[in-house]
Structure formats: C-alpha cells, structure tokens
A and B are shown apart, each in its own frame.
Chain A
Amino acid sequence: DTEVTQTPKHLVMGMTNKKSLKCEQHMGHRAMYWYKQKAKKPPELMFVYSYEKLSINESVPSRFSPECPNSSLLNLHLHALQPEDSALYLCASSWLGAGQETQYFGPGTRLLVL
C-alpha cells in the first residue's frame, strides 16, 4: 500500500481565515513533506519532516505553519494567506536511509484564497 491521503480535497478561504490541511500515511514512513504546485508548474518543496522533526524549511513565509503530531500525520496550518498562495498543496512521504528515499504523493488539496 503506497497511499497518502489528504484532506480536504478543496478549500476556499478568505485572507483573514485560519484553516488547516491534513495529511496521513500508514506506510511507516519516517519522512513527510509539503509541496506547493502552481498551475502548469512543477511541485516546489516547502517543508520536510524527518522523524517528526522539521529538517528543511525552504524559506516559506510564516503564514504557513507545519506541524507533525506523530509519524503518520502532517498538518499545514494556514493563516492570513494571500491570493497568490492559491495552489495545489501536495503531501508526500518516504522512508529514510540510503536507497529508500522514494517519495509517494497524496492527491493534494486545491486551495483558493479570496
């Protein structure tokens, strides 16, 4: 089973709202990732969690706040977003260790900021 699930599938929010995206995997992976994908563009890495600790932050604005409550769950808390933050937000997970870093992606949450 290589399934990563994400909720919600779609989200519309105003610039003053607070919302959260959720990602879950049950493959025992110890690395989880958030990516942002704009239309007709490749995914861009935002955050990496390794063993539930934030290991990479790609200079993402603080209005995006990741959280990894346990090894199966990854959240992305959103606050005071801008319309240009509208995009597909992808979660991925992988094993850690040489030769095991294949990332498996969820279906994404399509976010629209009004």
Chain B
Amino acid sequence: AQSVSQHNHHVILSEAASLELGCNYSYGGTVNLFWYVQYPGQHLQLLLKYFSGDPLVKGIKGFEAEFIKSKFSFNLRKPSVQWSDTAEYFCAVNGAAGNKLTFGGGTRVLVKP
C-alpha cells in the first residue's frame, strides 16, 4: 500500500521568506507525484506534478519541487512567499495500478503580511 507523510502540520512565516515543505512517500514501484493547494474557501488546485524526467519540476505561482528517488521525497519550495500563499498544501502520490491518489495529511501555511 502507498502512503504519504508531510512533516509539518503548520508553518508560519513572513512575506518574502523562503518556504520548503517536506513530503515523503512509501511505495516500492514507479510513482507519480503531485502537490495540490487549497486556498481558504476554494477548491483543490494542482500546483505541480512529476511523472518522469527532470526531477526538478516547476509549477504555477513560482513553486517548484524536487523528486529525490533515493530519499522517497518530493519537497515543495518557493524562494519568496507572499501573503496570498496562505493556504493548505497537500502532497499526493499515485503509484499503484489504476488511478488511486493518496494524500498526505496536509500542511497549513500562514504568511504574515
């Protein structure tokens, strides 16, 4: 069975600070990896995804993530956050046969203006 772990449940930082959210997964086979964001009162939106190729992927709104296979990790980064980045961030994995997406527990990010 596949599982996803997000290390930080809550992160508070100031505008212009750098952000890094950790994500580790457990699954022995080939995986597809995703980061989704849920802004307050809004629906889940795809930030970025990794299927294969360059392990450093760039997404929308200045976010990027790095897939490190040896560490089973897919950490999300943004060099300089804005107040509008306040949201909940979910890492997700689809590794099993079929199309079953498993989410991590989420990280609530609060950016202080």
Contact = CB atoms under 8 A, between A and B. Distances in A.
Interface string A1-41: 00000000000000000000000000000010100000011
B42 to A, nearest CB: 7
B94 A101 contact: yes
A43 to B, nearest CB: 6
Contacts of A33: 99, 101
A69 interface: no
Interface string A55-67: 1100000000000
Interface residues of B, number: 23
A114 interface: no
Contacts of A55: 98
Given A42-B106, A99-B51, A102-B34, A48 B44 contact: no
Given A50-B98, A99-B52, A42 B42 contact: no
Nearest to A31: B99
Contacts of A102: 34, 46, 49
B105 interface: yes
B99 A107 contact: no
A49 B52 CA distance: 25
A56 B49 CA distance: 23
A41 B106 contact: yes
Contact of A42 (B43, B94, B100, B104): B104
Contacts of A106: 43
A42 B98 contact: no
